[in-house]
Structure 1
Amino acid sequence: MNNTQSQPKRRWLAGLLAFLLPGGGHLYIGRYGRGLVLLLAVLLDLAALVRFSDATSGSRALLLVYLGMALPALYFVSVFDALQIASRTRLSEDEAGLRPESAGFAPTHSLILVAGGIILFFLIRPTRAVQPRLDWLGDMASGVILLIIAAWMAFRIKPGFFRFGRLSSAALLAACGVLLLWDQVAGRNDIGLLADWWPLLFVLAGIEMLVYQLLERKKPGRRLAAGAGSLLAALLLAGSAYSITQYGGLPFRWLDQYGTGTRMENLSEEKGYSYSMKPVSAVIAEPLNDILVDNPNGDVSVVPSTDPDSREVTVEATLWVDSDNKQEADLVEQKSAVSLSAEGKLHIETKGMPYGANGARMPRFNLRITIPADLETLLSVPGASPSPDPLPAATDLPGENAPAGTEPSPSPEGDAASPSPPPAVPPEQTVKFLLNAGNGSVKLSGIRATGGFVVRNRSGSIEAMDLTGPLEAGTSNGEVKARRITGDAALSAKEGAITASSIHGKLTASTANGNLDINDVRGEALLETKNGFIHVREVSGSVQADTLNGEISLASSVVGGTWDINSSIGEILLSLPADGSYTVDGSVTFGTIRSELPLQIEKKTVKGQIGLGTYRIRVDANSDIRITSYPGPG
């Protein structure tokens, strides 16, 4: 027995066992306490990954990332430490065999094994009383992890050494940990401030240099070394915290801070001096192909004329000048204008006079535009002879000396004595409405343009109601709402939610960071968000719904096409008609599957056919899948 204990352990075998089973190398060389602790740590990591992936709807994505990072780190520690201990045992006969009284144990090992075993038990089989506490721990764990690592970096001091960068790394992780905890407690998103505060890293580096110099004066002789490992680890952990919590804004939101931040700050808000400018209007007397509105700063509201036979376009403007100087504001009002021009298209454009320091600020125009409800009437010349006073080529508000008007459209060929009106524009030509906004809300309602509507906004919401014609609306920062649209609708946002209802056509909705709330789509629905839930009620065509971080709920009385549903982190809830005609094929990675419909559930998959199985429903989820009979909870 003693001869067996005194035999040196093979180093390569210790490394192989440590690689195959975390802690296995330590058990082989007799370090039982450390080996069991390593094995328990890996099991706790895996159990937490499964538990929080199964129970969450996406709020703990950062914790899952940290747990995923911990797995390779634990494997590395297991292999490296086992090889180090095996090498030392070959150099010292005293370490070749274990002391019988210790057997590689320490009191801390016992305490860790007892506490860790209890936690592992509740992670695998949580009780009703424990489950809420586990959820709370999952929400707070990311910040606590960063604080623990920060404390370890700060207090792990080796005598005679000064690792430059370690204190700065600890401060960075501590700040991130505090922000994460504060965001959870206060329901805020202050971790996003890291994008503005990162230059303070140089301040921390300077303070750390000063600390080193003070320590050297007090007791010289320390060896200065670079704490590259600590710095890389801190940047990785802090970068992950920012990237995951602000996922929907990357990379465009991060880049936009430098490309557009200054310009946005130099746009006037609704404060200071306001001026109600004289309305400008014109009667459309020649065919138009497009209507274009450009307003870099301010709200835009487009409404239909109350007179169904009206061919008049009216622009009402309120000018805001954010200045404390009344004389300067009056000058800006005098030099600012709203321009209308018509050369094959109607162009409405705001022209504000720059003011402020170095002429960097721009005034704000809030516009209310009244146009004919049916823009197709603008394609044809009125039935009577052409008006002797056609629309001027350019009309400025409030200027009084407008340029000369354009020439009337040439008379069509044919018998001059014929009483018939001039022929209309060929039916394949349509009017298209285009609106470009920079900073403000946009609203359109009650207009018909079969050529379509294109609305672009950089910072502000978009609301479209009661439109006839295809709609394309997108904003970088703000929500998009579309209701009662007759035609296809393509809605997009980078930072903001999308709400759509009563869409008579194909719907495409995509946002990077926001929720999708969809109701009553009479056609195909293509839905995607990176960070947010997707809720759908009633869709008659095929559905493609995809979210990286959030739940998906879909309830419909009919299944009229192929459905492809995917949620990387979040539950999927389906409410399907019991008398439909479709097949279901679904699977989960960590969660469970429940169904009220007669479908076959085996382990992590669900399959089955309802009716003739005309259409296919494919569901992929990491968390739970719940299928109910319509009209059940969606």
Structure 2
Amino acid sequence: MKNPSHPALTPEEKDHQTETEKEYEDPQSDEGTADAPVIPPRTKRRPVKRKFIAGLMAAIIPGVGHLYLGLLRKGISFLFAIILDIAALLYFSSIGMQINVPLLILLALLIPCLYFFNVYDALQSADRIIRFMKMNAAEYELAEEKPQRTRLISEPGISFGLFLLGGGVLLFLFRQKPAWLQFFIEHHAGAAAGGVLIAAGLLFMLREITLSRRRGAAVSPKLRIGRYTSSIVLIGVGALLFRDWLLGTDDMLLLLKWWPVIPILWGLEYLILYTAARRPRSSGSRRRVQQDLRSLVPAILLGACVFIVSEQEHYLQLWNKVSLNLTAAAVDYGEAKGSRFVKPSVAIPVELNSAKLTVDAINGDILVHRSPIDDIEVTATVWVDQLSGVRAQAVSDQSFIEVTEGPTIKLTTKGKAYGDSGKRQPRIDLDIAVPDTRRFDLQITTMSGGITLQNVEAIQDIGIETGNGPIILHQVFGNIKGKTLNGEVRIRNIQGTADLTTNGGDMMAWNVSSSLKLSTAVGNIVAEGSGAELDLSTKNGNVNVKEAPSSLNLQSLNGVIEARSSSVQGDWNIYSAVGDINLYLPEIANYSLKGSSGYGNIESDLPELTIDKKTITGTAGTGEYKIDVEGNSNLNVRKQ
């Protein structure tokens, strides 16, 4: 029976259907149809990426935006870097060693930097990928050399695996907190960081040399200016850091003077490569010159970060000075002139458990001494300048000493501000007499004024700090630690250790029984008959030592060093960057000397020492103690 839904075909329609079926026959089904046309396969549609979605995902969770774009390694690297930075921040802020504040600040700042760069890079990568995906599909399939997405967007190669491996090890160590890791950081971090910077600089330089040779065969290669300079910066910073660790010097501070070398090197590199680019090659084409700030700027920033972290002591000292100046700007200090008022003495009873005396002053000298008394007696002298008569008397009457009794006796000066600005503090000098039958640990602080201790005995520790004024100690028993930002330091006859610093001022010490450490940024240092161990350093000044009974460490970046001793009973380490070094050694002693001078002359009248060009070596007696001397100016070794 005929199907009414399929009407009969005419002969012409049957012929057309037969031809159509032949065109779609399987070409492998019959040898006679091998030349039949083949329908091309359907082009595979790639998913469309959205820039807004990539940026939003990167902003919500770092790295996810790159994962959405198919950049797996980049996305994982961003996320892993932030996790590693947080782990390092928690580790360095929780371990028991002295916290490096600049390091913690840099680690904290690195988190938002990574976050915003992750968003920026995700948006830039989305732009490139969208342009890539808008290519004509037919042209893409028919092209003999298919364009690769990696040419538009770079992803880490072998460095990705190394980053995961090294970062995973660090994460494990940060979580476990082994004792050896803390020891390594405290004692060998400088060497490790310096070695890494040197290796990185050499690697980048060798890589650029190799790439330059490859570009020589290219039709129109680019010469990127700045890469050699960045390599030299990394090598230089790493070498100074490693040298400081090895010799115990502060050569990293030379970066403050040598940083103009960077634009000099950059300019030389530019001139050399620009000249090379202007020369026509055999092919007739010329090379193109392009500034490569992406390598130079990170290298400079890395060097600056290493300087800030490694020179924490000097960086924080500068910050303390700035903070003090900011505080001084808000406070106007009166001077010791004008109206003078001596207040009645204040007697402070001393209890049996009283063990510490704390003095907190703003403006004025502080004198602490022992007297044959039973209680602590304080006499205050108030100076009011710019005012006179009744008004000066009113300021004096409203200025007093606040006393807190107990195990810790605390004295706090309260001055009545006056003057046109209403911020001028009267000068209040304190004379504090303590019983000669008692001992107290001391903690004395003043913003402006000198501190003097005379014939004072502490239970154990004495802390001293002044912003602007000298520190004078005479006949003191106890372990002393103090600093002044602007003032000289003079100490004599100290039974105990002494650790004192000043930012600007001379330092002199006589007869310190235990270890002595003096440090000044600008000033001379003199130590005579002092310390079982001497550690003296100045950035701009001379160092003079007479009689070093034990180990000796002398450093000066710009100044003459002179050391005399009738005996050598410990190791000596002496360094002067700019300045002569004069040593006077005994004829009979047990030491081995090794010295060098970079640009000066070496002279000696000791027969056991040998001078060879820029070095001097020799051994006296058994050679038990080592004397290492290094400088860049004249080195003289004489008989004592």
- TM-score interval, normalised by the smaller of the two chains: 0.5 to 0.7
Distance change (3 Å), C-alpha of 1:279 and 1:507 = same
* TM-fit CA distance, 1:71: 6.6
Larger deviation, residues 264-273 vs 586-595: 264-273
1:569-608 deviations in Å (ceiling 9; x for gaps): 2222111111011100112222222111121111222111
Q: Which amino acid aligns with 1:273?
A: S
Distance change (3 Å), C-alpha of 1:353 and 1:449 = same
1:496-555 deviations in Å (ceiling 9; x for gaps): 221111111111111222221111114011112222221111111101112222221111
Q: Is 1:604 the counterpart of 2:614 in the alignment?
A: yes
2:276 to 56, 64, 83: 83
Contact 1:278 1:317 in 2 (8 A): yes
* TM-fit CA distance, 1:324: 3.1
Larger deviation, residues 448-457 vs 324-333: 324-333
Q: Which amino acid aligns with 1:488?
A: T
Q: Is 1:292 the counterpart of 2:358 in the alignment?
A: yes
Distance change (3 Å), C-alpha of 1:89 and 1:274 = farther
Could you tell me how far apart the structure 2 residues matched to 1:87 and 1:563 are? 60
Could you tell me how far apart the structure 1 residues matched to 2:560 and 2:381 are? 43
Distance change (3 Å), C-alpha of 1:557 and 1:335 = same
Which TM-score applies when normalising by structure 2? 0.52
* TM-fit CA distance, 1:73: 6.7
Could you tell me how far apart the structure 1 residues matched to 2:316 and 2:475 are? 35
**Which SS does the other structure have where 1:591 is aligned?**
coil
| 1:382-393 mapped onto 2 (5 Å cutoff) | none
Contact 1:249 1:494 in 2 (8 A): no
Could you tell me how far apart the structure 2 residues matched to 1:538 and 1:450 are? 29
Q: Is 1:256 the counterpart of 2:336 in the alignment?
A: no
Q: Which residue of 2 aligns with 1:243?
A: none
* TM-fit CA distance, 1:454: 1.4
Q: Which residue of 1 aligns with 2:382?
A: 319
* TM-fit CA distance, 1:627: 0.5
Q: Which residue of 1 aligns with 2:631?
A: 621
Distance change (3 Å), C-alpha of 1:626 and 1:68 = farther
Could you tell me how far apart the structure 2 residues matched to 1:458 and 1:63 are? 25
Q: Which amino acid aligns with 2:447?
A: G
Contact 2:469 2:484 in 1 (8 A): yes
1:477 to 474, 478, 486: 486
Larger Rg belongs to = 2
1:268 to 323, 334, 350: 334
Q: Is 1:432 the counterpart of 2:446 in the alignment?
A: no
**Which SS does the other structure have where 1:521 is aligned?**
coil
| 1:203-602 mapped onto 2 (5 Å cutoff) | 252-253=317-318, 256-257=321-322, 260-261=325-326, 263=328, 266-305=332-371, 307=372, 310-324=373-387, 326-357=389-420, 359-376=422-439, 431-597=440-606, 598-602=608-612
**Which SS does the other structure have where 1:286 is aligned?**
coil
* TM-fit CA distance, 1:329: 2.5
Contact 1:249 1:513 in 2 (8 A): no
**Which SS does the other structure have where 2:459 is aligned?**
coil
Could you tell me how far apart the structure 2 residues matched to 1:487 and 1:374 are? 19
Contact 1:354 1:360 in 2 (8 A): yes
Contact 1:500 1:519 in 2 (8 A): yes
What is the aligned length?
Answer: 371
Percent of aligned positions with the same letter in both sequences?
29
Q: Which structure 2 residue ranges, 5 or more long, are not aligned?
A: 1-208, 213-250, 285-296, 298-312
| 1:133-148 mapped onto 2 (5 Å cutoff) | none
Q: Which amino acid aligns with 1:553?
A: E
Q: Which amino acid aligns with 1:72?
A: L
* TM-fit CA distance, 1:340: 3.0
Distance change (3 Å), C-alpha of 1:70 and 1:355 = closer
* TM-fit CA distance, 1:618: 0.9
Could you tell me how far apart the structure 2 residues matched to 1:515 and 1:320 are? 33
Distance change (3 Å), C-alpha of 1:345 and 1:65 = closer
Contact 2:351 2:407 in 1 (8 A): no
Q: Which amino acid aligns with 1:373?
A: D
Q: Which amino acid aligns with 1:622?
A: N
Q: Which amino acid aligns with 1:83?
A: A
Contact 2:366 2:429 in 1 (8 A): yes
Q: Which has the higher contact order (CA 8 A, sep 6+)?
A: 1
Q: Which residue of 2 aligns with 1:72?
A: 265
Could you tell me how far apart the structure 1 residues matched to 2:426 and 2:404 are? 21
Contact 2:351 2:406 in 1 (8 A): no
Q: Which residue of 2 aligns with 1:201?
A: none
Q: Please, what is the CA RMSD of the aligned residues?
A: 3.7
Could you tell me how far apart the structure 2 residues matched to 1:363 and 1:69 are? 50
Distance change (3 Å), C-alpha of 1:365 and 1:89 = farther
Contact 1:339 1:350 in 2 (8 A): yes
* TM-fit CA distance, 1:80: 5.1
Q: Which structure 1 residue ranges, 5 or more long, are not aligned?
A: 1-15, 20-57, 92-231, 233-247, 377-430
1:232-284 deviations in Å (ceiling 9; x for gaps): 9xxxxxxxxxxxxxxx9877447734653453551212233221111222453
Larger deviation, residues 276-285 vs 505-514: 276-285
Contact 2:321 2:485 in 1 (8 A): no
Distance change (3 Å), C-alpha of 1:70 and 1:605 = farther
1:22-45 deviations in Å (ceiling 9; x for gaps): xxxxxxxxxxxxxxxxxxxxxxxx
**Which SS does the other structure have where 2:392 is aligned?**
helix
Could you tell me how far apart the structure 1 residues matched to 2:349 and 2:367 are? 20
Q: Which amino acid aligns with 1:365?
A: I
Which TM-score applies when normalising by structure 1? 0.52
1:465-512 deviations in Å (ceiling 9; x for gaps): 111222222111111111111111111112222111111111111122
Distance change (3 Å), C-alpha of 1:483 and 1:595 = same
Distance change (3 Å), C-alpha of 1:491 and 1:71 = same
Could you tell me how far apart the structure 1 residues matched to 2:448 and 2:482 are? 15
Q: Which residue of 2 aligns with 1:162?
A: none
